[in-house]
């Protein structure tokens, strides 16, 4: 179906690059002559601390590689991202209606690194540890 053809892949985002790379490999194996990728948002360069599971910036492909290096890593003939202005313009809403921190690094609220996605798990572990201490007190055990 794609053998000998030029293919354009449109993706909603490229975060780590692993999924996009696998798609390109599959298209190349199917005989695609050229593979071009277009992405409907800007490159994710910064972590999201507000609920989307974007990892540390070191794991974001656009944070670690240039456009040329991303092209090579993905194995595409060309790569194009929608810019922030174009993405926002498509919504017909004002720029300040959106959090764009994962694209531009401008966080609307201060970020406390201790409040990551694992905070609830740590609190649960702490509560269990405190409950265990209550069952077998360790403080002031030598006082009678």
- Reported confidence tier of residue 2, pLDDT bands at 50, 70, 90: very high
- Reported confidence tier of residue 144, pLDDT bands at 50, 70, 90: low
- Residue carrying the six token digits 């077998």: 136
Q: 9: closest CA among 60, 25, 54?
A: 25
| pLDDT tens-place string over residues 73-88 | 999 999 999 999 999 9
Distance CA 115, CA 107 (A): 15
| pLDDT tens-place string over residues 79-135 | 999 999 999 999 999 999 999 999 999 998 887 777 666 666 777 787 788 777 666
Q: Specify which residues 79 forms β-bridges with.
A: 37
On whether residue 97 sits in a domain, the answer given is yes
Residue-averaged pLDDT of the chain: 88
Count: domains in the chain: 1
Which tokens is 15 given? 């975060």
| pLDDT tens-place string over residues 59-76 | 999 999 999 999 999 999
CATH number for the domain spanning 104: value is: 3.40.50.2020
On whether residue 131 sits in a domain, the answer given is no
Q: Give residue 38's domain range.
A: 6-109
Distance CA 116, CA 95 (A): 26
Task: Return the higher-pLDDT residue of 131 and 8.
Answer: 8
Q: 20: closest CA among 50, 41, 47, 5?
A: 41
On whether residue 102 sits in a domain, the answer given is yes
On whether residue 139 sits in a domain, the answer given is no
Q: Which residues, other chains included, contact 71 with Cβ-Cβ below 8 Å and sequence gap of 6+?
A: 77, 78, 79
């Amino acid at each position: 179906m794609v053998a000998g053809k030029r293919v354009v892949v449109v993706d909603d985002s490229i975060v780590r690059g692993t999924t996009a790379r696998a798609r390109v490999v599959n298209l190349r194996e199917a005989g695609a002559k050229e593979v071009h990728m277009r992405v409907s948002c800007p490159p994710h360069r910064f972590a999201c601390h507000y609920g989307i599971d974007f990892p540390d910036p070191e794991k974001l492909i656009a944070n670690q590689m240039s456009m040329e290096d991303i092209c090579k890593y993905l194995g595409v003939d060309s790569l194009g991202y929608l810019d922030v202005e174009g993405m926002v313009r498509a919504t017909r809403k004002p720029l300040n209606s959106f959090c764009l921190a994962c694209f531009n690094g401008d966080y609307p609220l201060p970020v406390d690194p201790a409040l990551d996605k694992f905070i609830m798990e740590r609190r649960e572990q702490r509560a269990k540890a405190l409950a265990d201490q209550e069952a077998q007190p360790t403080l002031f055990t030598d006082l009678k």
